[in-house]
C-alpha cells in the first residue's frame, strides 16, 4: 500500500473530491452502520469512522469502475481504518483486492468459487472425516467459506485472532486464508462425534457459522495454522488442477453447444381431452405421451408440473412440430388475458407473445449425458413468479444447497425432495403421481421438475413435517 501511495501522489484526494456513481453510493451508505457497530470509530452514524469508510469505499468504485463495490470490501476497509488514515487504508484496500485476493470482489465472484473448490480438495488431506461429511451432504463450499475468505475472517474470529491472522496474511499471503479455513473445518467437523451431531445440512452449516470459542482462541488457532501439514506448493498445485477443471467445464468448443442463443422459448399449458373440461395431463402421461414423441422428432422440451397444472417449454422454431405431433392426443392452450385459448396446428403465429426488443437474455446452461444445452430465461410475466424461480433452480441447481431454496418472489422457503433412486424413466414415472397425489390430498403444494436427468419435487419448508409423514404412510402402505 505504501508503494502504491508513493506511485500515485494526490490520486486519493482526486477520487475523494469526485461525486461518485449514485448507484454505488446508495449501497455503500446503507452498509456503513453494519461494520463493527460497537467499535468506538463506527458507533455513531455520521461519525468520523463512518465518514472515512464511505470515502475509502467510494474512492475504490471510482478507481475500479468496472468492479464497483462489493459488500465484503466494507469490513476489510473498516479494519484498515482502525490502524491507519483514510488515504493509506484506500491503497491497502487496493493491494488486497488486486494482489492478495484478486478477483474476489468482481461481479461474477469466479475467483472465490475456484478457491472454494481448492479448499474443499485440500480438506480431504487435512481431515478426511470432515471432507466425507460435507461431500455426503452435498454442501457447496460457497455456503460456508464465502464470508470467511472474502472478509479475511474479520467477521468470523474474535478480534485478537483477527489481528494475528491478518499479520500472517500480510506477511505470507493468501495461503494463510486457506490454512485458517482448513483448521476451522478440521476442528468443527473432524471427528465422528462432531459429525454425528450434524445430521442434516442445516445443522452442519449452523455448526460452521457458530464455531466453538476454543477453535477460534488466538493461541490455539495460530498454533494449529502454523503446524497444519499443507504447504504453499500444495496449494499452488491444487490451484492449477482446479483451474484446469474450471476451464474445461466452462469453455466447451462451440460445436458442443446446441445453438439456441437467438431462440425464443415459449410456455405451453398441456391438458388432456376430457369433454368440456380442461384437466392437467399429469406427469406420467407427459413423460410417456409428450416427451417421447417429440424426442423422435429431435425436439427438446422442458417440463414443469404442479400436479394440478402442467407446462412444457418449447423453442418457438419447434412450435409447429410440437403442435402437429401432440394435437391428436392433447389440447394445447396459450393464455390470453388470464384465460386459456386453444392453439391449433393451423395457427400461423399461434398468438404467443414474442420476446420484447431491448431485453438482455440470460443463458442458462444445463448438463446432460451427451450434450450441453443452452436455453433462455422467460419473461417473468409468462408464468407465475414461483414457476420462473423454479426454472432458475433447474438451471442453476449447483449454486443452491441440494435440497433447500428460498424463493425471493414468494418469500417462502422450499425444500427439494428427491423422487426415486435414479433419473425418471418410463418404468418409474408412475412414482411421481404416486407421491404427488397423496400430497395434494393433504393440501400440500408440490412442484415437480424433470429434464430426464434428475427429478425433484419441491414442497414448502414449513410443511416438511407433513410431507415426511405422508410419504412414510405411503411407503408403509406399499410395504404391507
Burial of 208 (0-12, 13-18, 19+ CB in 10 A): buried
Phi, psi (rounded to 5 degrees) for 9? -65, 130
**What is the DSSP pairing of strand 404-407 with strand 372-376?**
unpaired
**Grid coordinates 488457532 are at which residue?**
221
CB neighbours (10 Å) of residue 151?
A: 20
Q: Which domains are seen in the chain, by residue range?
A: 1-100 (1.10.8.270), 110-250 (1.10.472.80), 265-353+360-394+407-477 (no CATH)
**What is the DSSP pairing of strand 310-315 with strand 363-367?**
unpaired
Q: Is a pLDDT exceeding 70 seen at residue 235?
A: yes
Distance of CA 434 to the CA centre of its chain: 31
- DSSP character string of 189-227: H-SHHHHHT--SHHHHHHHHHS--HHHH-HHHHHHHHHH
CB neighbours (10 Å) of residue 357?
A: 5
Residues 446 and 306 sit within 8 Å (Cβ to Cβ): yes
Higher pLDDT, 339 or 425: 339
For residue 100, what is the DSSP state?
A: I
Cα 250 to Cα 332: distance, rounded to the nearest angstrom: 37
Residues 183 and 224 sit within 8 Å (Cβ to Cβ): yes
Terminal-residue alpha carbon distance, the chain: 72
- Which pLDDT score is estimated for 349? 40
CB neighbours (10 Å) of residue 9?
A: 8
pLDDT tier at 123, thresholds 50, 70, 90? very high
| Partners of 390 in beta bridges | none
Distance of CA 129 to the CA centre of its chain: 25
Distance of CA 459 to the CA centre of its chain: 19
- Which pLDDT score is estimated for 241? 86
Average pLDDT value for residue range 179-200: 92
Cα 436 to Cα 417: distance, rounded to the nearest angstrom: 11
- Which pLDDT score is estimated for 287? 55
- Chain segment 318-368, per-residue pLDDT in tens: 677 777 777 676 666 665 665 666 666 554 343 333 333 333 333 333 332
Cα 6 to Cα 335: distance, rounded to the nearest angstrom: 65
Instruction: Please provide the average confidence, as pLDDT, over all residues in the chain.
Output: 71
Cα 437 to Cα 283: distance, rounded to the nearest angstrom: 11
412: three-class secondary structure by DSSP? strand
Q: Is a pLDDT exceeding 90 seen at residue 478?
A: no
94: three-class secondary structure by DSSP? helix
Residues 143 and 401 sit within 8 Å (Cβ to Cβ): yes
Residues 444 and 470 sit within 8 Å (Cβ to Cβ): yes
Comparing 166-170, 253-257, 436-440, which segment has the lowest mean pLDDT? 253-257
pTM beyond 0.75: no
Residues 190 and 127 sit within 8 Å (Cβ to Cβ): yes
Cα 104 to Cα 115: distance, rounded to the nearest angstrom: 9
The beta strands (E) that lie in 234-290 are given as 257-258, 265-274, 277-280
- Which pLDDT score is estimated for 370? 28
Comparing 108-112, 120-124, 248-252, which segment has the lowest mean pLDDT? 248-252
Burial of 5 (0-12, 13-18, 19+ CB in 10 A): middle
314: three-class secondary structure by DSSP? strand
Average pLDDT value for residue range 139-162: 91
Residues 286 and 311 sit within 8 Å (Cβ to Cβ): no
pLDDT tier at 157, thresholds 50, 70, 90? very high
Residues 259 and 317 sit within 8 Å (Cβ to Cβ): no
User: Which residue, among 436, 440, 399, 397, has the nearest Cα to 420 in the 3D structure?
Assistant: 436
User: Which residue, among 363, 365, 369, 364, has the nearest Cα to 453 in the 3D structure?
Assistant: 369
- Which pLDDT score is estimated for 46? 79
What sign for the dihedral angle of Cα 11, 14, 20, 26?
A: positive
Average pLDDT value for residue range 374-383: 36
Q: Is a pLDDT exceeding 90 seen at residue 4?
A: no
Torsion of CA 234, 240, 242, 244, to 10 degrees: -160
User: Which residue, among 346, 376, 336, 343, has the nearest Cα to 359 in the 3D structure?
Assistant: 376
366 grid coordinates:
444445463
Phi, psi (rounded to 5 degrees) for 406? -100, 120
According to DSSP H, which parts of 401-463 are helical?
430-441
Amino acid at each position: 500500500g505504501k508503494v502504491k501511495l508513493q506511485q500515485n501522489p494526490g490520486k486519493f484526494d482526486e477520487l475523494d473530491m469526485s461525486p461518485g456513481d449514485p448507484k454505488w453510493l446508495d449501497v455503500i451508505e446503507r452498509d456503513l452502520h453494519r461494520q463493527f457497530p460497537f467499535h468506538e470509530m463506527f458507533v455513531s452514524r455520521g461519525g468520523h469512522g463512518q465518514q472515512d469508510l464511505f470515502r475509502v469505499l467510494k474512492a475504490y468504485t471510482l478507481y475500479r469502475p468496472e468492479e464497483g463495490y462489493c459488500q465484503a470490501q466494507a469490513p476489510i476497509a473498516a479494519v484498515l481504518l482502525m490502524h491507519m488514515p483514510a488515504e493509506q487504508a484506500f491503497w491497502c484496500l487496493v493491494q488486497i483486492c488486486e494482489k492478495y485476493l484478486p478477483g474476489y470482489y468482481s461481479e461474477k465472484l469466479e475467483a472465490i468459487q475456484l478457491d472454494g473448490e481448492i479448499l474443499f480438495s485440500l480438506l480431504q488431506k487435512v481431515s478426511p472425516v470432515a471432507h466425507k461429511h460435507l461431500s455426503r451432504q452435498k454442501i457447496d463450499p460457497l455456503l460456508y467459506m464465502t464470508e470467511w475468505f472474502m472478509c479475511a475472517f474479520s467477521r468470523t474470529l474474535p478480534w485478537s485472532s483477527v489481528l494475528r491472522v491478518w499479520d500472517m496474511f500480510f506477511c505470507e499471503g493468501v495461503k494463510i486464508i486457506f490454512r485458517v479455513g482448513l483448521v476451522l473445518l478440521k476442528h468443527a467437523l473432524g471427528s465422528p462425534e462432531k459429525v454425528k451431531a450434524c445430521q442434516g445440512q442445516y445443522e452442519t452449516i449452523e455448526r460452521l457459522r457458530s464455531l466453538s470459542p476454543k477453535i477460534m482462541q488466538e493461541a490455539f488457532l495460530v498454533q494449529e495454522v502454523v503446524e497444519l501439514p499443507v504447504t504453499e506448493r500444495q496449494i499452488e498445485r491444487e490451484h492449477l488442477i482446479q483451474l484446469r477443471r474450471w476451464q474445461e467445464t466452462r469453455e466447451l468448443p462451440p460445436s458442443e453447444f446446441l445453438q439456441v442463443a437467438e431462440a425464443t422459448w415459449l410456455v405451453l399449458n398441456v391438458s388432456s381431452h376430457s369433454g368440456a373440461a380442461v384437466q392437467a395431463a399429469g406427469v406420467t402421461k407427459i413423460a410417456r405421451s409428450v416427451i417421447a414423441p417429440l424426442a423422435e422428432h429431435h425436439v427438446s422440451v422442458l417440463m414443469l408440473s404442479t400436479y394440478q397444472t402442467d407446462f412444457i417449454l418449447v423453442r418457438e422454431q419447434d412450435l409447429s412440430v410440437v403442435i402437429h405431433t401432440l394435437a391428436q392426443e392433447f389440447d394445447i392452450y396459450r393464455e390470453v388475458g388470464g384465460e386459456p385459448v386453444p392453439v391449433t396446428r393451423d395457427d400461423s403465429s399461434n398468438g404467443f407473445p414474442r420476446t420484447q426488443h431491448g431485453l438482455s437474455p440470460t443463458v442458462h446452461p444445463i448438463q446432460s449425458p451427451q450434450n450441453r444445452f443452452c436455453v433462455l430465461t422467460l419473461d417473468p410475466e409468462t408464468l407465475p413468479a414461483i414457476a420462473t424461480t423454479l426454472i432458475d433452480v433447474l438451471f442453476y441447481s449447483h449454486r443452491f444447497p441440494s435440497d433447500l431454496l428460498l424463493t425471493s418472489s414468494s418469500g417462502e422457503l422450499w425444500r427439494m425432495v428427491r423422487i426415486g433412486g435414479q433419473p425418471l424413466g418410463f418404468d418409474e414415472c408412475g412414482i411421481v403421481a404416486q407421491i404427488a397425489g397423496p400430497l395434494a390430498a393433504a393440501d400440500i403444494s408440490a412442484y415437480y421438475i424433470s429434464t430426464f436427468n434428475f427429478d425433484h419435487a419441491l414442497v414448502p419448508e414449513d410443511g416438511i413435517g407433513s410431507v415426511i409423514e405422508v410419504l412414510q404412510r405411503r411407503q408403509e402402505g406399499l410395504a404391507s
